[in-house]
Structure 1
Amino acid sequence: MTNTQSKIFKDVTAALPTIQQWQTAGDTIVFTNGCFDILHLGHVDYLEKARHLGNKLILGLNTDASVSNLKGPERPLQDEMSRARVMASLLFVDMVILFAEDTPYELIAAVKPDILVKGDDYAIENIVGHDLVQNNGGTVKTITLVKGYSTTNIVEKIKQQI
C-alpha cells in the first residue's frame, strides 16, 4: 500500500481511530466534500485554502453511484478509486473518505469536524451539516472560489470540440 492509498478509507468506521487520534492530539480538523471528477485549478486552490484553516483536512468523496445520482448517468468520468487516489496525492489532503449518500450529513455527524468548509457559492445556512458542526461548537466557513473553473464547464468545452 502506498502512502497515498493509506489516506483513503472506504467508510468512516475504518477512519474513526485515526480521526480520534488527531482530535486527542489537539489537531483542528477541517472537513469538506465533493465529487472531484476532474481535478482543476479551482479544486486545488479551494482545498489548499481549506487546509490552512486547520491542522488536518478530511475530504468526503462521493462514490460513483452518488455522483451519478447527483450529476446524471454520464458521470462520473473517473471511477471512485481513481478520484480518491488523485485527491489523496495532494499534500494538503490528509484523509479521503468515500460516502455513498447524496449528502455527507451522516459522515459529518461521525467525523465531528471543528470546521466545515464549502465554496462561496453556498450560503452557510445551506451547507449540509452546518447545524451539526455549529451545535458541536465548531464553525462553518466559505472559501472564495476561483472564477471560471468547474468540472461541468470543462466537460461541456470538451463536448463542443468533438
Structure 2
Amino acid sequence: MFEYAKPSFEQKICPPEQLTERLVGLARPLVFTNGCFDILHRGHVTYLAQTRALGASMVVALNTDASVRRLGKGDDRPINSLANRAAVMASLASVDLVTWFDEDTPLELIKLIQPEVLVKGGDWSLEHIVGSKEVLARGGSVHSIPFLFDTSTTKTLQLIRGE
C-alpha cells in the first residue's frame, strides 16, 4: 500500500511551547493576529492577506476550543476543532506559522512573540486591541483593518440552519 507524506503546510503548525525556537527562522518585521477562524470564509482570507502585507512574515494564533466556548459564540461552537482550524489556517499562503492559546486573550503570546505589527479586524478599536500597549511601547504598530465583505461564521451558520 502506498503511504502518503504528511502535507508540507502542516509544518507551519507550532505548539506554543515550541514558539521560541520556531520564531528564530521567521523574517522580520513579524505580524501577529489572532482569532477563532471557525469556518473560514472570504472575509477571513481577505483580512489575512491584508494583514500579511504589513510585514515580512505572519503568525496567527487561534483560540483553543475551550477559549472559543468561553467567548459565548454559541453552545455548539467551535464547529471545527482546533486541530482542523490550525490545518486549514496553515494551508494558506499568507500564513507563516500557526499556534494557539487557551487563555481568554493572547496577551502572553504577544509578549513572548514580540511582533513588530499587531492586527485585528475592523470591529476592534485600536485602544481595545489586546497587546497594543505592549507593541506600541516597543516601537511597533497596531492596525484595525476594516471589513471588505459582509461575511461571518455566525451568518454562515444562520444560513445553514435556515434562521
The answer, yes or no, to whether TM exceeds 0.5 is yes
Q: Helix, strand or coil: the match of 1:9?
A: coil
Matching residue's letter, 2:69: S
C-alpha separation in 2, matches of 1:159 and 1:34: 23
Residue 154 of structure 2 is aligned to residue 152 of structure 1: yes
Q: Name the residue aligned to 1:18.
A: 22
Residue 45 of structure 2 is aligned to residue 40 of structure 1: no
C-alpha separation in 2, matches of 1:3 and 1:55: 20
Contact between 2:42 and 2:149, CA under 8 Å: does it hold in 1? Answer: no
C-alpha separation in 2, matches of 1:72 and 1:151: 11
C-alpha separation in 2, matches of 1:68 and 1:75: 6
Matching residue's letter, 1:4: F
C-alpha separation in 2, matches of 1:89 and 1:72: 26
Of 130, 133, 143 in structure 2, the residue corresponding to residue 131 of structure 1 is 133
Superposition map of 1:1-162 within 5 A: 1-11=6-16, 13-22=17-26, 27-70=28-71, 71-160=73-162
**TM value normalised by structure 1:** 0.92
For structure 1, list consecutive stretches of 5 or more residues without a partner in the other structure. Answer: none
CA RMSD of aligned residues (A): 1.3
Contact between 1:37 and 1:78, CA under 8 Å: does it hold in 2? Answer: yes
Matching residue's letter, 2:18: A
**TM value normalised by structure 2:** 0.91
Instruction: Give the drift of 1:73.
Output: 2.4
Q: Deviations over 1:106-132 (max 9, x none)?
A: 111111000000112111000011011
Instruction: Give the drift of 1:69.
Output: 1.0
Structure 1 segments (4+ residues) deviating >6 Å = none
Instruction: Give the drift of 1:136.
Output: 1.3
Q: Percent of aligned positions with the same letter in both sequences?
A: 45
More off after superposition, 141-150 vs 34-43: 141-150
C-alpha separation in 2, matches of 1:21 and 1:49: 22
Q: Helix, strand or coil: the match of 2:34?
A: strand
For structure 2, list consecutive stretches of 5 or more residues without a partner in the other structure. Answer: 1-5
